[in-house]
Amino acid sequence: MRLADGSLRTMSDACRQSPDWAATRVWDLPPVDPEDGEDFETYLRRIGFDDVRLSYVQRGFAGAAGEAMRNLDAGVAVEALRDHSTGRNDWRILDGYNRLHESWASGLDIRLNTVVERIEWDAEGVRVFAADGQPFEADRAVITLPLGVLRSNRVTFSPELPAEKREAIDRLRVAPVIKLVYRFAAPVLPEGVMALYSALNPCMWWSPSVGQPTGEYVLTAFVTADRARELLALSEAGALERGVETLRAELGRPDLKPVEARMVNWVDDPYALGGYSVTPPGAREAHEALARPVSNRLFWAGEATAGPLWKATVHGAYASGCRAAAEILSALKENEEYKRSVIS
C-alpha cells in the first residue's frame, strides 16, 4: 500500500513504519462508547483520530462497509470491530460460489429468469405473480429481495406491508458499490503480492488470479461510497480509464494497458440497485425489524436481515436463510399443535 507520505510498502511494512496505518489495522480503541445516533467519523474524531488516520479508515474498514464514515452508525461500527465471532480473516472459494448453490439446489424446482412483480398475501396463503403473468401459490413465502429493490417498490405487496416493515426498509441504506475488472497479458503486481491499497481512486485492488491454474492475470478494483459516486459520474469507459491511471501511478508503469476491461455496476443493476445494506446513524434496530415475519406468511432473509454485525456478508446471507427456514418450521409446528388441541 502507499502511505500518507507517498511511499509504497507491503501491509506488514506499513504497520511497522506507520503508527497511523497500524492503528486502523489493530483497532486498539480506548474504552469510550459511541453515543446514540452518533456517526462513525464524529466518534473517531472524538477519541483522537486525525485526518491521516481517518483517510486510512475510509480506504479500509469504512470502504469495505460500503459508505462514507459520516453515513455509518458509530455503535454498529465499533461493535463490528470488537466482534470476532466469524474469525479475523477473509476466505476465497476458488471454485466459485456456484459450487455452493449447485449443492443446495439439488432436487429443487428452481425457476431462473423469472422476474417477480407482485406479491399478494392473506390468511389463506401467498400468491406471487411474475412479469409474464405466471402465478405461484404457497402457504408461506421467504422474501429475499435485495434491500435496494425493496426500497424501490418495484415489487408491490398486496395488502401493503405493515408500517413497521416499511419503516425498517426506509431507514436502512444501500451502499453504492462497483467493481472495475481488468485482464492483463502478464502479472501486474509484484510476485507474491495479491492486493494493493492506494490513496487514489480506486483505492482497493486485488487479483483473483492468485491460486487459479491459469495463465491469465486479472486485477479487480472494489469501489464504494464517495469514490464510487465519483466514478459513476463518469462513463463506463471513463471510470475504467481512471482505474488504469491509478495503477500506472502506483506501479510506476505509464505504459500499462489491459487486454480487456469491464465495469460491474450494482447501483444500476435493476435486480440489485446497490451493493449491500448500510446501517446509518440511529438505525441499528431496523435490521431486526426487517427480519421479523409478517403474519406467519411472509418470512424474510438476505444480508440486510442478518443483523448489524453480519450484514453485507455472504455468511450473513446464508445464516439469514437458515434462520428464516427455522422460523417457518416453527410456525408449521405451532399450527399442527393448535390443530391437535382443537380436535382434542
**pLDDT value of position 16:** 72
202 Cβ neighbours under 8 A, 6+ residues apart: 180, 221, 222, 223, 227, 231, 242, 243, 246
Same fold, 98-173+274-343 and 177-265: no
Tens of pLDDT, residue by residue over 181-212, are 999 999 998 888 888 989 999 999 999 887 77
Using H for helix, E for strand and C for coil, what is the string for the chain? CECCCCCECCHHHHHHHCHHHHHHHHCCCCCCCCCCCCEHHHHHHHCCCCHHHHHHHHHCHHHHHCCCHHHCEHHHHHHHHHCCCCCCCCCCCCCCCHHHHHHHCCCCCCCCCCCEEEEEEECCEEEEEECCCCEEEECCEEECCCHHHHHHCCCEEECCCCHHHHHHHHHCEECCEEEEEEEECCCCCCCCCCEEECCCCCCEEECCCCCCCCCCEEEEEEEEHHHHHHHHCCCHHHHHHHHHHHHHHHHCCCCCCCCEEEEEECCCCCCCCCCCEECCCCCCCHHHHHHCCECCCEEECCHHHCCCCCCCCHHHHHHHHHHHHHHHHHHHHHHHHHHHHHHC
Task: Split the chain (344 residues) into runs of 10 and give each run's mean pLDDT.
Answer: 53 72 87 96 97 95 96 97 82 83 88 95 96 95 98 97 98 98 93 88 91 86 98 97 97 96 97 97 97 97 96 94 97 73 55
Tens of pLDDT, residue by residue over 113-150, are 999 999 999 999 999 999 999 999 999 999 999 999 99
Record the pTM: 0.90
* Superfamily for the 98-173+274-343 domain: FAD/NAD(P)-binding domain (3.50.50.60)
Yes or no: is domain 177-265 CATH 3.30.420.40? Answer: no
**In the chain, what are the domain boundaries?**
11-82, 98-173+274-343, 177-265
